[in-house]
């Protein structure tokens, strides 16, 4: 096993021969799909593997560890291919038993399942095609009926807040079905991209957007791509 970490960080990605094989197959899948109508897909896979992506995910996991957060059931909003965050979470937090990646990009599914094959095979990782700003995480016919225990997430991670409506909208949609989970949010001030529709200029702005009342952590970090990343953890 080879441990890979970003410079200056202690959290490691456990890069095993099995993980290497899964990643090779995931990248190959993106290349093979380019023979169809997916000319852009390989670039997107590589964009999701750049240094800044890894830095932000390691920062998230390190901070959770620092505050002794022990995630058990995680809802990952707009997790994209999730090739970094999923193994980092499972390798760092032994009590983590389930990660569900809520996405709207159908191209993600086959490739993310290849990146995270070992967790999918162990029934610990799932992709759910659902727009979480329009539909709640789970459908409940009667909002007054308690959710089954297995359907409640104790941690909700959104590393793509700049790509979607403010998180207050998500919270209002899910108030009836979630029991005050820990929110772990990241956003950016990088407004050069068309799909960055909701950038922020500070962690305080991110707190305000999510209407977080109990802040456990807030901070910012300049990444390798020179953009500033903001992170907030709280309830």
**Per-residue pLDDT tens digits for 112-141:** 999 999 999 999 999 999 999 898 887 544
Q: Which domain holds residue 46?
A: 2-234
CATH number at residue 226: 3.40.50.150
Closest CA to 98 of 71, 136, 65: 71
Tokens of 43: 């670039």
Domain count, the chain: 1
Q: Note whether 157 and 75 are within 8 A (CB).
A: yes
Q: In the predicted model, is pLDDT for residue 108 greater than 50?
A: yes
Q: In what order do the strands lie in the sheet with 155-158?
A: 125-129, 98-103, 73-77, 155-158, 182-188, 228-234, 215-222
pTM of the complete model: 0.85
| pLDDT tens readout for residues 194-216 | 766 677 899 999 999 999 999 99
Residues 127 and 29: their CA atoms lie apart, in Å, by 17
pLDDT, tens digit, 9 for 90 and up, residues 82-106:
999 999 999 999 999 999 999 999 8
The average pLDDT across 69-80 equals: 95
Tens digit of each residue's pLDDT (9 = 90 or more) over 47-56: 777 888 899 9
């Amino acid at each position: 096993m080879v441990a890979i970490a970003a410079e200056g960080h202690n959290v490691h990605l456990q890069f095993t021969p099995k993980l290497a094989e899964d990643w090779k197959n995931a990248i190959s899948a993106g290349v093979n799909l380019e023979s169809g109508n997916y000319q852009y897909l390989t670039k997107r896979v590589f964009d999701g593997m750049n240094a800044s992506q890894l830095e932000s995910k390691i920062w998230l996991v390190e901070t959770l560890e620092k505050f002794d957060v022990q995630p058990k059931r995680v809802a990952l909003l707009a997790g994209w291919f999730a090739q970094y965050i999923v193994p980092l979470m499972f390798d760092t937090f032994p009590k983590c038993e389930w990660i569900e990646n809520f996405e709207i990009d159908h191209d993600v599914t086959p490739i993310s399942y290849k990146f995270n094959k070992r967790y999918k095979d162990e029934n610990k990782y799932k992709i759910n095609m659902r727009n979480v700003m329009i539909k709640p995480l789970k459908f409940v016919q009667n909002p007054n009926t308690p959710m089954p225990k297995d359907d409640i997430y104790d941690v909700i991670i959104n590393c793509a807040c700049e790509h979607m409506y403010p998180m207050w909208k998500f919270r209002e949609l899910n108030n009836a079905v979630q029991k005050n989970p820990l929110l772990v949010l990241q956003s950016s001030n990088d407004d050069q991209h068309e799909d960055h529709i909701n950038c922020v200029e500070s962690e305080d702005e991110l707190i305000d957007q999510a209407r977080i009342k109990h802040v456990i952590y807030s901070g910012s970090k300049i990444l390798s791509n020179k953009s500033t990343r903001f992170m907030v953890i709280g309830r």
